[in-house]
Amino acid sequence: MSYSPDELMTVAASRCVDGNDVCFVGIGLPSAACNLARRTHAPGITLIYESGTIGARPTILPLSIGDGELCSTALTTVSVPEFFRYWLQSGRITVGFLGAAQIDRFANLNTTVVGKYESPGVRLPGAGGAPEMAAHCQRIFVVMPQSRRAFVERLDFLTTRGHGDGGDHRRRLGITTAGPVKVITDVCVMEPDPETRELTVTRMHPGVTRDHVQAATGWPIRFAAEVRETAAPSEDELAVLRHLRLETENAHTAKEPA
Partner 1 sequence: MSVFCSLQEAVAEALHDGDTVAMEGFTHLIPFAAGHEVIRQGRRNLTLVRMTPDLIYDQLIGAGCAAKLVFSWGGNPGVGSLHRLRDAVEHGWPQPLALEEYSHAALANAYDAGAARLPFAAFRGSPGELPRVNPKYRTVVCPFTAETLTAVPAMRPDVAIIHAQRADRAGNVMIEGIVGVQKETVLGAARSIVTVEEVVETFDGSPNACVLPHWAIGAIAVVPGGAFPSYAYGYYQRDNAFYIAWDGISRDRDSFRSWIDEHVMRSGPEAFARRASRVA
Query: Shortest gap between Cβ of 44 and partner 1 (angstroms)?
Result: 24
Among 14, 102, 160, 230, binds partner 1 (CB under 8 A): 160
DSSP strand pairing (95-98 vs 76-77): unpaired
Q: Does 108 bind partner 1 (CB under 8 A)?
A: yes
Query: Shortest gap between Cβ of 245 and partner 1 (angstroms)?
Result: 13
Q: Compare residues 117 and 231 and give the one whose CB is closer to partner 1.
A: 117
**Is-contact 72 110, C-beta < 8 A?**
no
**Is-contact 32 23, C-beta < 8 A?**
no
Dist CA 192 CA 10 (whole Å): 20
**Is-contact 83 52, C-beta < 8 A?**
yes
Binding-site size, partner 1 (CB under 8 A)? 62
Compute CA 165 distance to the chain's CA centroid, rounded to the nearest angstrom: 21
Q: Does 254 bind partner 1 (CB under 8 A)?
A: yes
Q: Which of these segments, 17-25, 138-146, 155-163, 216-224, binds partner 1 (CB under 8 A)? A: 155-163
Each residue 198-217 as x (binds partner 1 by CB under 8 A) or -, in order, gives --------------------
The H or E element that residue 57 is part of is none
CA distances from 88 to 68, 93, 189, 244, 255 (A): 22, 6, 26, 28, 35
DSSP strand pairing (113-115 vs 120-123): antiparallel
Name the CA dihedral angle for 203, 241, 124, 17, rounded to a multiple of 10 degrees. -50
Which residues in the 3-42 window bind partner 1 by CB under 8 A?
27-28
Each residue 123-152 as x (binds partner 1 by CB under 8 A) or -, in order, gives xxxxxxxxxx-xxx----------------
- Is 50 labeled as catalytic in the residue annotation? yes
Among 64, 209, 234, 250, binds partner 1 (CB under 8 A): 64
Give me the residues that bind partner 1 (CB under 8 A), please: 27-28, 50-53, 62-68, 70-72, 77-81, 83-85, 88-89, 108, 112, 117, 120-132, 134-136, 157-161, 170, 173-175, 251-258
